[in-house]
Every structure is written in structure tokens, then in C-alpha cells.
Chains A and B, each alone.
Chain A
Amino acid sequence: MKLLKLIPDNTNIQFLRWRVPFYGISILLMVASIVLAFTNGLNLGVDFVGGQSIRVTFPQGTTAPMAEVREEIDALGYGEPTLQALGQPNIISVRMGLPDEENAALTETMIRDIRATLEEHHPEASIGSAESVSGKVSQELFKTGMVALVLAMIGISIYIWIRFEWQFGVGALFALAHDVTLTIGLFALTQMEFDLNIVAALLTLIGYSLNDNIVVYDRVRENLKKYRKMPMPELLDLSVNETLSRTVVTSTSLLITLVALLLLGPDVIFGFTAAITVGIFVGTYSSIFMATPILIWLGVKPDSFVPKETAIDVQERRARGEA
């Protein structure tokens, strides 16, 4: 039986040789993402800016009368709604900002009026979901979301620092910042809705994109102990190549399931799944081209792990039958 091998045995690709141009491109992309997030802005969901959002489904096979709906709601005098098709032409989301930050009662009336208008003019349509968030709550949610994101990144980096060396922690933090920034950049570019679920997706992707880093770092550590005389660039290349097959197979596995969910799954979580999918892709790239080369610049040396060898490491080394 012949098995599929996405990556042939004993590859020897010199990833590190191109580290400077790759770093250049990545940093450029990060800067571009940040610039884009500020100029283009993120299409923040109601849970982050307050307001209300209604999902309206018109009968299968028809096209939602967007212009009509816009006019009808505009005529209510609360401002112009933001309409967006949700995957299919008959499903739209109707979003309204808060009419008045301070006056919760006015928001209440607005919700009631919009519902009534939709029901009156479009009895054939059904309201699938409705969400409204006050200005106060949305500010809180945004703050907690960002705090959670930063905490997770720092927490994970500290763990890597403890398990490895500080250089690895910094490398991991840099790779995480890279992944998160690029994913946010994608949301700024496509103007997909950025809401609380997307923050959860970012939290997830930093957990998973770090898996790749850990596997490579683990191998780097192993090789550092094994090949004391090997120059760093060569040793890092070897570690990446040795784990390349695993990296590719695992990322492919994740992408297979995520793409299936993206194409066939509920459209309500399309953005969520898209964020994780892109994040996994970017994360795989960053673990090879970002997190690993940075170890050279941060001064990881072949003897980095020598004085730190623990009793368990010694045992392991003996078990392997090495000196």
C-alpha cells in the first residue's frame, strides 16, 4: 500500500535564507493591516457600537427588496439603516445605530417601530433574530474583548517563556501579534462584521496557531541539545524541515474541516469560521517564517539549554542512550 505524502521525506528547504525578505513582507503586511483598520475602519457589530440588528428572511427564491426596506425604515426618522445581504439574496440584516446614547426608552420605541414597520409592509418576511445593545454595554463588551485578547496573548507567551527560554516567549508573542493583526486587517479589508464572536475566534486562533510554534520550538530545543556544534540558521532549518510534514498535515486537517463548515455550515457563523480559517493559515506561515528566524536575532545559542538542563531532561537523554 502506498501512502500519501504531502511532504517528501528528508526535505532540506532553506527557509532561513530568505528570512530578511520574508520579515520585510510580513512587517509590511502588519503595517498595512493596522493602517487599513484605521483608515477603512472595522465594520463593528452592534455588540461593540450599540444599536440594533435584525435578521429578516424573505421567502426562498425571492430577492429582498433592500431599497424599499431602507426607505420604510428611513421614513421612521431614526436615521438611515445599514442593510447587508447575508449569504443569500433573500436574507438581509438591518442595522441601526443607537438613536440616543442616553435615552434607553427611545431605543425601545425604535425597536418596536422597526419591527412593526417590517411586519406591516412585508408580512411574507420573517424575523429570524433581533439583537439590541445599549451604548454602555457595548463599550464594556469591547473593552472586555480587547482585555481578554491581550491577556491571552501575554499569558500564552509567559507559558512559553517558562517552558522554553525568554527568546521563545518573545518569538511566540511576535508571531501571535502577527496572526491577530493580519486577521483584523482582513476584516478591515472585506468589511465583514467584526463582533464579539470574532474576538472569540481570535482567541481561538492564537491558541491553535501557537501549536505550530510549539512543535517547531520543541524540535529546536531537542536539536540544540543534540547538535551542539551546528550553526543556528542551519539548526533552525533542520528543525523546521523535520517538523514540516507534521505542520502541513495538521494545518491541512484543520483547513479541511473548517472549509467544510465555511461552505456548508450556518451562515450565521460565517465570519467566525472565516476568521479562524484565515488565522490558521496565517499562523502556519508565521510559525515557520516569523517565530523561528526571530530566535537568531534574539540570540538563542547552541548552549542556551545547557545550564538549564533539568533532571528530567537528563533522564530523557540517558533513555535515548546519548552521552
Chain B
Amino acid sequence: MLEFPPWKRVYLWAISLFLAVASVPSLVSLAGVQWPSFLPKPMVSLGLDLAGGSHIMLEAEPSQVARQRLDTMEEAVRAAMRDAKPRIQIGEISTSGGRLSFLLQDPSQVDAARDLIEPMTTGAGMTGQRDWTIQVVDGSRFILTQTRAGLDLAVNNAMESATEVVRKRIDALGTREPTIIRAGSDRIVVDVPGLKDPQALKDLLGQTAELEFKLVDTEALPTNVAQGIAPPGSEIVPYAKGTPGEGTAIAVKRLGGIRGDSLTNAQQTFEQQTNAPVVSIQFDPQGGARFARLTSQNVGKPFAIILDGEVISAPNINEPILGGSAQISGSFTVDTANQLAIALRSGALPVDLTVIEEFSISAELGADSIAKGAIGMLAGLGALMVFMLVTYGRFGVYTCSALILNLLMILGVMALLGSMAALTLPGIAGLVLTVGAAVDANVLINERIREERARGRRVVQAVELGYKEASRAIFDANITNTIAAVIMFMFGTGPVRGFAVVLLIGIVTSVFTAVTMTRLWVAGWLRRKRPTDIVL
């Protein structure tokens, strides 16, 4: 029990020192001293609540994806039936209840229609299901229903590209080291260290940035438009906030427009005459050609620039725009124009994202927490060490040494794990708690040695029994703490997770230092001095 072969001693010391030394750069930088750059520099990474920064959680509405798929399917079906030879007449088209249903005029065309529609559905990933089910009822009514698997796949794809768009937009802001991760099936979590006010970020991510160019329906009666009644083939679109037309709406033609997803570039610039901020856009060749056609066929007529379902402006087409580039003007500030440019460059979000949780913490508050946490911890540690020394004498010295080594090792492990184990505010409490709890193992051992001595055992035997008998309870106690910490890690988020990580690391290192290392030290002392009595 008290025998430590030389290789084991070397090995235990090597682990201890390696991990303890890894904590040095972090401690040095806490003290405000520059760490020499030529040395390796593992650092304890700080959570947002200590480093300062913003966290936001965005959520998409899966029903929106379902709606979009339904609309796309409707258009595709209409086109396919129209283009079929002979043409298939359909009617009573409805998309209510999340299903697409329509009636064939001529029931004898059911097989022909089915042959056309079937290729429009595909297998949903690896699930073995189709993404739509096709039913024919009463001989001539088709009902197309989205399958769960198909919708899940579509939501997943939409979220994947939404995450990519979010990443592009945040990168364009030039903030340092943002973390953007998908959470669950329909959420994205964005953490940006150092960002104090997340408003700009939210504005940028809250914008879907779907740009459309549509012809204004000049024949619509203003009174009808004001009442929200659109002529056949047109739709009513309201003016955006902040534009001169705010509060009113115009009628635009539903078809024949151009979508802004064929852009190669978008930049904030200034209009030459008025010096007002505008957004210059550049179409790709196909988009440019379509834009040239639209503008040359409609010279003199107004067309509406629509962003996310709201009209930004509706200028007259003075001359055909052939170069593939255009300017969007409409009551922008430099900031909003810049934001729109970034949003257009990064592409439209496939789904709207809503902020459902956010927090931001200033760097000053974080620094204050670190400083106060360090003071609280040092004071506690100092008082605890005095208590241990007066209670256990020489064994208290071993306990205190284990305590300090333990603390250094926890920080060392965290430094080596980097951002996988970031220190958070509750994590500081976790450190303090671990320090307080780590002595429990030593207390158990020391008390047991005391007891065994009182029963008249010799020193070496008492120490051996002390370690042995106490280890059962130490083991069980640490298992229960592990259960609690693991559950916390599984269920917790951000700061709480950081706390659980500190507890878990602390459980391992404290058993190592409080049991293994103190035994090594006590054994060394017993071998050297061979005491016949111990003060305990």
C-alpha cells in the first residue's frame, strides 16, 4: 500500500507537473503579465459571461418550409398539366390543410397525370420513404400530401443553408471568432465574443433578404388597392417602413418579375446626384439578360423593388438597363444600406429566423466577475488552508499541497482543452466548490488514521488502513457527484455546462491529488523518518 516503485513516482509527478505547468500561462495573464510569445501558450478559454459578448438563439418555423414546398409543388403541377400533350385540364385546386388537391376534368386522364406527377416526388434521404404521397380518390381527385420524412429533410436542408447564410453575414460584419452552430432540428445558436450590443447582429439576421423586381399594375383602381383588393393576376404589396409611401400599398403583377437570387455582388454606394446612400447590385449573366429584357419591354412604366414582401421603391423605367447592374435607392442610411448589401451578398435566408433567446454581457462586467471570483477564491483557499493546518498538522500540510496542486491541475486541463472547456461564471463557483470538496477525501483519510491510532494500531498500519478504509466512501461520494455533474452537462446550456465541466474535471483531479499524491508524500515521509508516533 505504501510502496511506490521509482517508475510510479516519476510517472505520478510527471502527470502532476505537466498539467500544473499548463495552467501557468493563464495565471500569468490573469496577473496582467505578458507571456513570452516563443513559449507554448495553452490558455483557459473564457465563456461569454466572463469574456463579454453576445449570444443569440434563432428559430425557424418548420411550417413555413412546408408552405413553400406546397407552393412550389402547386406551380410545378400546374405547369406539368398545362404542358402535357394532350393538355390535362384541372380545377378546384386547393392547398388548404397542408395538402395539395385538385380535380381532373376528364377522369380518363388519371394514369397520364399520375405518370407526370410521380417523377416530381423523390425519395427522402435514407429513410426509404417518398417525400410526397399521391392519392387518387373518387376516380378523378388527386391529393398530394407531404410525408414527415420529406418535410424533415426539407427543413434540414433549409436549416443547413440558413446556417451557411448566417455564417456569411456574420463574417461580413468582421467580428472575431463567432461560433455558429445548429441546435436541434430548427435552431441556430450564434455566440459572438466582444460584441456588446447584439442589435446590429439581430437586424442583419432577422432580414430574410428576398429581393424581387415586379411590374406595377397601373390599371388597378386606387380605391380597390387601398381596400386591399387586387385585380386578377396582381397582388397588393405594402410599402416598407421609413419609405415615403409608408402606410400605403400598390398593386404589382404576380408573374413576369425577376427574383434577386441571381446576384453576383451587392455594395453600399452613394447616388451621384443626391449623394444618398444606395445599394448597387450586379446580376449574373442570366439574371442580367432577364433584367435587360424586362426593362426594355417596359420602358416608361414603373416597376417595384420588393424586399421581404415590402416595397422599397417603385421607380419608372427611364431607359432599358442592359449592363446587368442596377441601383436600389429608397430612404437608406449608410448603415441600413450596408446591411442590405451584406444580406444580398450572402443570399436570402431560405426560412425566416426569429430570435427566441439572447443575452449580452459587457466585457467590464466579465472582467469584474473574474477579479472578484479570484479574490473570493484566494480568500477561501487561504482560510481553508489555515483550518487544515491547525486541524491536521503535518497531514494538513499534505492536504494543502494537494489542494494547490489540484487547483493548478484543473486549470491546466481546462487550458489544454481550450474552448471545449471554457470557464464560465458558475464555473468559478465550481472551482471554489471543488476546492472545498476536495479536502473531504483527506478529511476522511486523516480522521480514519486518527481513529485507527486511537484503537492502538502502529503508525504505518494506521496510515495504510486509513487510506484503504476511507477509499470506499471516497469512491461512492465521487460517483454520486459525477452523476449529478453528468446530468447537469446533458441538460444544461452555456454557463451551466461550464460549471458541470469544472466539476467533472475537478472530481478526477481531486481524487488524484487528494488520494494518490498525498499517499505518495506520506509514504515518502514514513520511509525516511520511520516515526513511532504521529500528531493527528
Contacts and interface: CB of A to CB of B under 8 A. Distances in A.
18 contacts: A104-B355, A128-B362, A129-B365, A147-B491, A148-B490, A155-B483, A204-B499, A253-B384, A253-B436, A253-B440, A254-B436, A258-B380, A260-B380, A261-B373, A265-B429, A266-B372, A267-B372, A272-B426
A203 interface: yes
Contacts, number: 234
Given A137-B57, A203-B488, A273-B429, A245 B447 contact: yes
A261 B378 CA distance: 9
Contacts of A167: none
B377 interface: yes
A253 B495 CA distance: 25
A264 B376 contact: yes
Interface stretch (B209-217, B264-272, B296-304, B470-478): B470-478
A200 interface: yes
B484 A211 contact: no
Closest 9 CB pairs of A and B: A265-B376, A260-B380, A207-B484, A257-B380, A257-B436, A148-B491, A131-B359, A266-B369, A128-B365
A10 B365 CA distance: 51
Nearest to B395: A3
A160 B477 CA distance: 10
B154 interface: no
B197 A115 contact: yes
A194 to B, nearest CB: 14
Nearest to B361: A129
A133 interface: yes
Give the bracket for the number of chain B residues in contact with chain A.
35 or more
Contacts of A155: 483, 487
A208 interface: yes
Given A200-B492, A257-B435, A152 B487 contact: yes
A interface: dominant SS: helix
B174 to A, nearest CB: 22
A261 B391 contact: no
Contacts of A266: 368-369, 372-373, 376, 425, 428
A260 B206 CA distance: 44
A75 interface: no
Contacts of B508: none
A34 B160 CA distance: 46
A197 interface: yes
A1 B391 CA distance: 11
Interface in A196-225: 196-197, 199-200, 203-204, 206-208, 210-211, 214-215, 218, 222
Interface string A101-116: 0001100100010010
B476 A208 contact: no
Interface string B371-409: 011011101110110011011110000000000000000
A214 B483 CA distance: 14
B443 A253 contact: yes
A5 B451 CA distance: 13
B183 to A, nearest CB: 11
Contact of B391 (A3, A159, A203, A218): A3
B380 to A, nearest CB: 3
Interface of A: 1, 3-6, 9-10, 55, 57, 104-105, 108, 112, 115, 126-134, 136-137, 141, 144-145, 147-148, 151-152, 155-156, 159-160, 163, 196-197, 199-200, 203-204, 206-208, 210-211, 214-215, 218, 222, 242-243, 245-246, 249-250, 252-269, 272-273, 276
Contacts of A199: 496
B375 to A, nearest CB: 5
A264 B368 CA distance: 12
B433 interface: yes
A255 B387 CA distance: 12
A104, A147, A196, A249: most-surrounded residue (chain B CB, <10 A): A249
Contacts of B59: 136
B365 A55 contact: yes
Given A129-B361, A132-B359, A260-B383, A215 B499 contact: no
A155 B354 CA distance: 37
A269 B429 contact: yes
Contacts of B381: 257
Contacts of A272: 426, 429
Given A3-B390, A265-B432, 15 more contacts: A115-B197, A130-B359, A132-B357, A134-B356, A151-B487, A152-B488, A155-B487, A197-B426, A214-B480, A218-B476, A261-B373, A264-B375, A268-B425, A269-B425, A272-B429
Interface in B342-370: 354-362, 364-365, 368-369
A207 B390 CA distance: 28
Given A253-B387, A263-B376, A197 B433 contact: no
Contact of A265 (B372, B435, B484): B372
B437 A208 contact: yes
B444 A152 contact: no
B468 to A, nearest CB: 8
Contacts of B443: 246, 249-250, 253
A131 B439 CA distance: 37
Contacts of B202: 108
Interface string B183-215: 000000000000001010010001000000000
Contact of A134 (B357, B439, B492): B357
Contacts of B360: 129-131
Given A3-B392, A131-B359, A264-B375, A218 B535 contact: no
B475 to A, nearest CB: 9
A156 B372 contact: no
Contact of B440 (A105, A126, A211): A211
Contacts of A263: 376
B372 to A, nearest CB: 4
B481 interface: yes
B467 to A, nearest CB: 13
B536 interface: yes
A322 to B, nearest CB: 13
A132 B357 CA distance: 6
B503 interface: yes
B120 interface: no
Given A3-B393, A55-B365, A266-B372, A218 B473 contact: yes
Contacts of A206: 484
Given A3-B392, A208-B481, A252-B387, A258 B432 contact: yes
Contact of B358 (A10, A132, A218, A262): A132
Contacts of B426: 197, 200, 269, 272
Contacts of A6: 391
Contacts of B390: 3-4
B479 interface: yes
